Every structure is written in structure tokens, then in C-alpha cells.
Structure 1
Amino acid sequence: MATQKEISYTYDDLNELWPLILDNPYADITCAYYNSDYSKSLAQAQQDKHAWIFQSVGFKRGDRLIDIGCGWGPMLNAVRERGGYGVGLTLSPKQVEACRQQELEVYLLDWKELDPTQFGKFKTVVSLGAFEHFCSVEEFSAGQQEKIYNDFFKLCYNLLSDGNFLYLQTMTWGKLLPWGNIKPTLQEFEEKYAKVTSPKFSNEWILGYLRAFFPGSWLPDSKEQIVRVAAPYFELVNASDGRLDYIQTITEWLKAWYAPKAGKTWAKLKLLSNLVLHGRPYWHRLKSIEEKAAREVFIRNIFGHQRMFFRKR
């Protein structure tokens, strides 16, 4: 699993910038829900995502929800607006601070350390854009991936009251992988398939930059793997492919990233101090944004994306 240090490296530095860019203190940096209507604004598509989730799980006033990997709290804010009770977990200290400033109940806590009785039972468990961080490249190489996923689904099972729902939104590996059907070893991945020194704009070059942006993360193989590991605890009720929606979401993020806005240039300049502290790896991280690597992996179908509703058995 990505460590607290790695999660902080990915998200803490963006704590000031993302809410400013998206013009929302509850900056949502997970895939929006366009439902084939790409004329929607990004803000509307994010609101529609929340409404779709709540409708699908039958969420109503007074219900309880826990968000594992809550980010800056967009889902928790939507829960509050509907008269529900929300709890969030994150490994980013800056996200905890930002959420608490908005009077959201958020804890700096690894889900692996959570006692399922700590907050009582919930109507709904959600995890949007966090599952892809749960297994590291090293853990995958050591054969631990499915045990980690099993532990997560077991926790969610114990958090939920009977017959209720888990909503999971996650990146997966796509259909057109550089290594084909033969999974690489850790050494092969780092030396052959994810190198910033590979030919520019090659799949390997793009993965190298994303490896720099998201250290400590290895994606699930597919929807089928997730469903199989979840099966002892959950029945899959509905699943949809969000790859095209993610392409549109990232396109809108990039527009917002480059659009002029008061205060944004200063916020970006403050990030440059990290070049002194972290050197070339941090430069690679900024370069991954400039080169639009995150969008390109979805366009090329190297990454996939799944939105999945599970009912507790």
C-alpha cells in the first residue's frame, strides 16, 4: 500500500492549488459522472455522480456513510447537504486539516488500522479513487495484492449494517498493456516498462512519469479480479465502465490547470521549492501534468476505470 509519506507526497503539496483551480474547497479529484452527456460542466458532472450514488444505494436523511480515502471531502459535504452523517479517512495530513476547516469529521487513519466497531455501523461505505493506492508495486511483486483486497472487503463487510452497500470507484489496468498478458516482475516494471528515459510519448515513458506522480501504487488487474476477491463478502449489483468519463474529467482538469486565475500562479510558484528538496523525482512529477500523462493512459487503454455497487451478503 502507498505509505502516508507517499500519499502526502502526492496530495499535500496540491492542498492549496486544487481547491483554487477547481474553485471549490471540497475539490473533487476523482472521475466525474457524465453518463454520455459531455456537454455538462465538470461541476455538474461531479454533483450528478454524488446524486447517482445516493439514489443507487437508497441513501436518505439520517443515514450514515464512511468514505475511505475521502480527499478534500466532496462526498462528505454531499452527505451533509442531504442531512446524513459522514466520516472520512485519509492518509494526507493536509486533507485532514482542510476538511476539518469545513467542519467535516475526518481522521488521519489507515483503513488497515481501523477497528470496525470504532464508529458503529454504516448504511453505506464508499471509496472513490483510493483503491488503486492500496497495493504497492512491491506488494504486488511479492504476491500480496489479493490478500490486501480481501482485507479491505472484509473490513467493509464489518462496517456495514445488513443488506447495505459498498460503492467502489477505481482505476484498473486496461486492455492494451505494454507487457501483454505476462505480468512483469518488480525489476522488469521499473527497468523496462516505466522509465522516463524511454522514447518520448511511448507507453513506457508515460508510465514512468505516472510512477513518479503516484509512488507506491499498483492497480487492480480488472473488474473480474475485484468481483472475485469481494465475492465472499459482497454481491455485485451494478458496474459501469468510466474510462471515457475519466478522459473528459481530466480534460476539464487540464483546462482549469492552465486557465488564468487570481492566486494560482503564486500557489504554483510555491511548489517550486520542492525541486530543491526533492530534486529530479519532483520535476518528473510536475512534468507528468505538463505532458498530460494521466489522460493519455486512459486514451490508450493502458488504464481502465470501474464504478461498482456491491451489496453485503
Structure 2
Amino acid sequence: MTTTRSSTPSGTMTIGEIIGAFATGEPPLRIEAYDGSAIGPADSDLVLRLKSEKALQYFVTAPGDLGLARAYLMGELEVEGVHPGAPRDVFGSLEVFRKTMTRTPDARTLLRIARSIGRENLTVPPIPAQEVPPAWKRVVSGLRRHSKERDSEVVSYHYDVSNRFYEWILGPSMTYTCACYPEVDASLETAQENKYRLVFDKLGLSAGDRLLDVGCGWGGMVRYAARRGVRVIGVTLSKEQVEWGRAAIEAEGLGDLAEVRLQDYRDVPERDFDAVSSIGITEHIGRKNYHDYFSKLHGYLKPGGILLNHCITRPDNAGKVKAGQFIDRYIFPDGELAGAGTVHVEAENAGFEVLHEENLRPHYAMTLRDWCANLVEHWDSAVEEVGEPMAKLWGLYMGACQYGFEHNKIQLHQILAVRLADEQTWDRPLRPWWQP
């Protein structure tokens, strides 16, 4: 291990030595501390710098991604060698740091660390204003987890940031879900349009049909289908999304066919839809609610109606479903992910027959790559609009997700399912009827 040591009192450890005590091997990047000590290869393209004692406090009081995020957002941790708004490389560096700093030192070393740090550095320093309480403490007006009122609060926390901020990141489509790239070098806008085309075709929609889009966001799918003569209702819990979506519908002259409502998907009064699209909402509803969720969507469809469920999943069906501390405390409070097999089973248990499913994991990594590039391009404007801590937070989050999709920590699955007619039959072609 390449470590630079500075002079310290007998028996105490340099910051580099303390960090090294948690390492499982040689870190693949340079880590430098405020006391002049360092660990890792001297010729690394990226240097992770702990700027002050507070950076170490964040690390030792909340090991893992939460402490790293706190230190980064509070300006006590920085990465050199990249643009300050280049979130992919920043998170890649932080993720490498987290992955290689996982060993628990022995008791004697822990005692030396405590003595070296000092009692005053074992207390939690100020945390960023954006952080919500831990799950066990989280009480939103005394509301039950995944109640309608609490879900509304959580959605507002994530999405009601700034429509202008989202426009800079997402581009003209204002689509905050995985795109589908027809070619590797396709633009983000082309890929998002292709995603909507894929959903539309999989659902077998045509002019005159009725579509319900749950978790409709800014109304991208709503407008895509309405342009093709489909009558569409979209529902979301975000006030800013509704405002933006309604304005876009009016601007395109689609008011006779398209509607975006501020409404919980559980409260839609209409029934007998030809199709339901659910693009990016399953992540918010909670694993225990999957059966009720799919049962509700089943009830919205007429016999023979089709559901497309598009959601982020885990690569297995046996592990945890709750998000890590960083995602839960800063991005998606109460968010949960399960494996695609779990989603598949719950759809079937609610009465659906699953016709087709596919994994779009590489497409989401590319989507996040393009969102991160947009943030870098508009960094100064984004900071002016929402402040540097919020811009850094979203860069860190999107970079984290890009890393996750690239390394199969998370996946994206589309599941196509049908509500069978009473005779347990359905009128569909024998083979997939859409183009990939």
C-alpha cells in the first residue's frame, strides 16, 4: 500500500493510515488528507481529497455511501481531475472508495484510531439540509408508510424541485425514465421517442383506444399517444409535473384527447381502459404493496386489455428491497426495489397473464450518461437555479445510478401482461407484434 506519512505523536495514526486501516487492498485511486498523508497510487488520474477534520468525521460517524455523500455535499470532500459538475466520475471515485474501504479493523487498531481522532471527532457534524431522517424515525405528519398522503409528500420531495432544472437535465422530452436507444450513437431525444414508440406498439394501441398512464411524470407518454388519436388520462402526485404537462398539452392542441391529473393512481374513477402504462412508478409503491398495485391496474382494464409495467429492478429476488442509505435519505425516501421475477410473480398473482418481458439495463446506463452530460453542460445555470448543494446532489445520484446499471447492481425491466377475458382467452398475434 502506497502511503505517505507525516510526523505524528507516538502511538497515533495519520489520516492516511486511518483510512488505510479500513481498506481491503490497495485503493485504485489516490486519496489525500488535510494532514499531508496519502494512500493509493501517486500517478492516479483522480485524487480524492479530505479537506478537513470534518471530512474524517463524516467518514467515521457514517461509514459507507451516507458519510461520503454528506462530506461531498458539505464541501469537505472533493475530487480533482474532473469538472466539479462531472457527476459520473465523482461518484465513480466515491464508489471505488466505498467498495475498497469495507474491512473492520481489529480492536487494537480501532482503539488507536479513536485515540488519534480525538473524542471531539466522534460526534456527527452538521448534515446537509436536504437529508431526511432515517427510515425508523421518519414520520410525515404521523402518516403510515406508503399511505396516499405520505406517498404524495415523498413524490413532491423528489419531483417538485424546479421544472427548469429538470428541463436542463432531461432535455426537451422532459422524460425522467429509461430511454431505448435504437443505435449506440442515437441522441437522447431519439432514444426517448423510441421508448414511447416501443411502449405504444407493445400495448397495441390505435386511434380511438383509451389509455391510462399511471405515474405520468410531465406527460411524455400521454402526449405521444394523444398525437396518434388515443384518448389518454395521466396521473401524478407532483404539482409541478401537472403544471408543466397541462401547458404542454395545450401548446400542442391535444386537450380533446389528453389529460394530466394531480391524482393518486389508486383514486382513478374510470374503468374499462384498453391499456395501462406504468413507467417508473413501481419503485415508489413498496414491495408489500405489489399485489394491491397490480390488482388495482388489473381492475382498470377491460377484458383483453394490456398492461406495460416499466420499472427498475434488482438483479436477484432473494436480497433486500430497501434502498441504500444515500438513496433513501436524499433521493427516494421509502423507495424499494425487487427482482424482475418478483414483479412478474405478483402481476400473475393479481390475475394477469404475462406475455413478454425484457431487460433494458444497458439503455438506462446510456440514458443516465446523457443526463449527466446535460447537467455538466448546464452546470452554472443549474447551480444558479437550485443552488450548488442540490446540483451536486443530483449529479451524485445520477452518477451513482449510472454506475449501478453499468455494473449490474440494478436493472430495468419491461413486463407486458394481459387481463384475460372471462373465457380465459385473448385476441393477440401469436408472436410479438412490435419492432424492438
TM-score interval, normalised by the smaller of the two chains: 0.7 to 0.9
Distance apart, 1:300 and its partner CA: 2.3
Q: Does 1:12 align with 2:163?
A: no
Residue of structure 2 equivalent to 1:302: 409
Task: Provide the C-alpha distance between the structure 2 equivalents of 1:46 and 1:83, rounded to a whole number of angstroms.
Answer: 20
Task: Provide the C-alpha distance between the structure 2 equivalents of 1:289 and 1:258, rounded to a whole number of angstroms.
Answer: 14
Distance apart, 1:266 and its partner CA: 3.8
- What are the residue-to-residue correspondences of 1:31-70 with 2, within 5 Å? 31-34=178-181, 37-70=183-216
For residue 106 of structure 1, give the secondary structure of its aligned residue in structure 2: strand
Residue of structure 1 equivalent to 2:313: 172
| One-letter code aligned to 1:110 | D
- Greater shift, 73-82 or 209-218, is seen at 209-218
For structure 2, the 5+ residue unaligned runs are 1-145, 250-257, 421-436
Distance apart, 1:270 and its partner CA: 2.7
For residue 335 of structure 2, give the secondary structure of its aligned residue in structure 1: coil
Task: Provide the C-alpha distance between the structure 2 equivalents of 1:89 and 1:132, rounded to a whole number of angstroms.
Answer: 16
For structure 1, the 5+ residue unaligned runs are 136-144, 196-207, 276-281
The answer to whether the 8 A contact 1:210-1:293 is kept is no
Task: Provide the C-alpha distance between the structure 2 equivalents of 1:266 and 1:39, rounded to a whole number of angstroms.
Answer: 27
The answer to whether the 8 A contact 2:213-2:235 is kept is yes
Residue of structure 2 equivalent to 1:100: 246
- Alignment equivalent of 1:240, drawn from 333, 345, 358: 358
Higher relative contact order, structure no. (Cα contacts within 8 Å, ≥ 6 residues apart):
1
| One-letter code aligned to 1:216 | D
The answer to whether the 8 A contact 1:210-1:285 is kept is no
Q: Does 1:256 align with 2:387?
A: no
Note the aligned Cα RMSD (angstroms).
Answer: 2.4
The answer to whether the 8 A contact 1:209-1:287 is kept is no
Distance apart, 1:211 and its partner CA: 4.6
Percentage identity across paired residues of the two chains: 27
| One-letter code aligned to 1:151 | D
TM-score under structure 2 normalisation? 0.56
Task: Provide the C-alpha distance between the structure 2 equivalents of 1:60 and 1:182, rounded to a whole number of angstroms.
Answer: 40
How many residues of Structure 1 are paired with residues of Structure 2 in the alignment?
263
Residue of structure 1 equivalent to 2:278: 127
The structure with the larger Rg is 2
- Alignment equivalent of 1:230, drawn from 330, 347, 350: 347
- What are the residue-to-residue correspondences of 1:84-163 with 2, within 5 Å? 84-103=230-249, 104-112=258-266, 114-115=267-268, 118-135=269-286, 145-146=287-288, 148-163=289-304
Q: Does 1:285 align with 2:402?
A: no
Residue of structure 2 equivalent to 1:198: none
The answer to whether the 8 A contact 2:328-2:334 is kept is no
Task: Provide the C-alpha distance between the structure 2 equivalents of 1:98 and 1:44, rounded to a whole number of angstroms.
Answer: 21
TM-score under structure 1 normalisation? 0.77
For residue 3 of structure 1, give the secondary structure of its aligned residue in structure 2: helix
Task: Provide the C-alpha distance between the structure 2 equivalents of 1:165 and 1:235, rounded to a whole number of angstroms.
Answer: 10
Residue of structure 1 equivalent to 2:126: none
| One-letter code aligned to 2:221 | M
Larger helix percent? 1
Q: Which runs of 4+ in 1 moved over 4 A?
A: none
Distance 1:228 1:289, change over 3 A: closer
Distance apart, 1:100 and its partner CA: 1.4
